[in-house]
Amino acid sequence: VSAAATPEERAFEAGLRPRTLSEFVGQRKVREQLSIMLEGAQGRGRPPDHVLLSGPPGLGKTSLAMIIAEELGVPLRMTSGPAIERAGDLVAILTALTPGEVLFLDEIHRIARPAEELLYAAMEDFRVDVVLGKGPGATAIPLDLAPFTLVGATTRSGLLTGPLRDRFGFTAHMDFYGADELALVLARSARLLGVRLTDDGAAEVAGRSRGTPRIANRLLRRVRDYAEVRADGVVSREVAQAALRIYDVDGLGLDRLDRAVLDALVRRFGGGPVGLGTLAVSVGEEAETVEDVSEPFLLRAGLLVRTARGRVATPAAFTHLGLEPLADGLG
């Protein structure tokens, strides 16, 4: 299981998405900044600045983009970096936007370079230059666009080129949620789904949700099934623990990739230090995926540290895997 959503899960999530900034749990600072920005723009009757949201999957970037459109009372158009292979794909999207519309561009760091270059003038001047023909006879025809707001999302803003990053007037970094915040997400979802969830049941699931609302909602589905089939329908602490044991969710909520990375680091490389590339190869993943998807949570959970010589497992990592920490060094 990764924090990315399957299509089936997307449909389930649609019913649980917060629709307004006040329904959006946690990320207080981001919410406050956004709310001021949106109100200011509405007062001036202009679309707000372009917004860049960065952070690991499942933390609410898509939800925030939808909320921005909702709060502004404008339509939302959604696309993603990998879907835009040619400049023409982007021109088609941009020229179809209606005034004030919000365009959500997920995984913006994966947009094709020629399309990215078109985006510069589109974001800055609401204009695109459509090039007709090739070579010396080619002509550029400027097209005016309706003013719009781009909301870009990326797992790491460091992957964006400077010129693209500079064109966002507002940048927010989304961080993992605390257990208290996840318990609020769970209580809200339980209400919407008609699940009876006790406070300590919510705390138990929250603590194993990897700081991620998407995972909290996913685990809630599993414990609900268990509560209905094997218990009296109420998700208490005991019921949550029993259910999560069956689904192999460990005490920290590490997912398959987290565990593979930790396991390789500790068992294969004796706790490190080991380079990111080597570690990624040994778990059969791209270095970028390990760095953007798995590492942030392992760092945050205090299981891994980054040193100049590579990644190192902490004593907590050894303990978590049921091993004795090494006597010398960090591990």
- Catalytic machinery residues: 61-62, 106, 155, 214
Closer of 60 and 273 to ligand ADP (Cβ): 60
Residue 63, marked binder: yes
Annotation-wise, does 286 bind a ligand? no
Q: Which is nearer to ligand ADP, 57 or 272 (CB)?
A: 57
**Closest by Cα among 124, 126, 71 to 98:** 126
Q: Write down the least CB distance from residue 248 to ligand ADP, Å.
A: 21
Instruction: Point out which residues bind ligand ADP (CB under 6 A).
Output: 13, 16-18, 24-27, 57-63, 153, 185, 213-214, 217
Is 288 annotated as a binding-site member? no
* Structure tokens, 142: 């400027």
Annotated binding residue 177: yes
* Dihedral in degrees, nearest 10, Cα atoms 13, 15, 20, 24: -40
Q: State the nearest-atom distance from the C-beta of 23 to ligand ADP, in Å.
A: 7
Write the DSSP string, 70-111. HHHT--EEEEEGGG--SHHHHHHHHHTPPTT-EEEEETGGGS
- Give the DSSP H/E element, type plus range, for residue 196: strand 196-197
Integer Cα distance of 66 and 83 in angstroms = 19
Q: Which residue, 81 or 213, is less far from ligand ADP as judged by CB? A: 213
| Four-point Cα dihedral 82, 152, 293, 285, nearest 10 | 20
DSSP state of 292: I
Residue nearest to ligand ADP (CB): 60
Identity of the residue, 76 or 279, whose beta carbon is nearer to ligand ADP in the bound complex: 76
* Residues of the binding site for DNA: 306, 311
* Residues of the binding site: 16-17, 58, 61-63, 124-126, 167, 177, 214, 306, 311
* Residues of the binding site for Mg(2+): 62
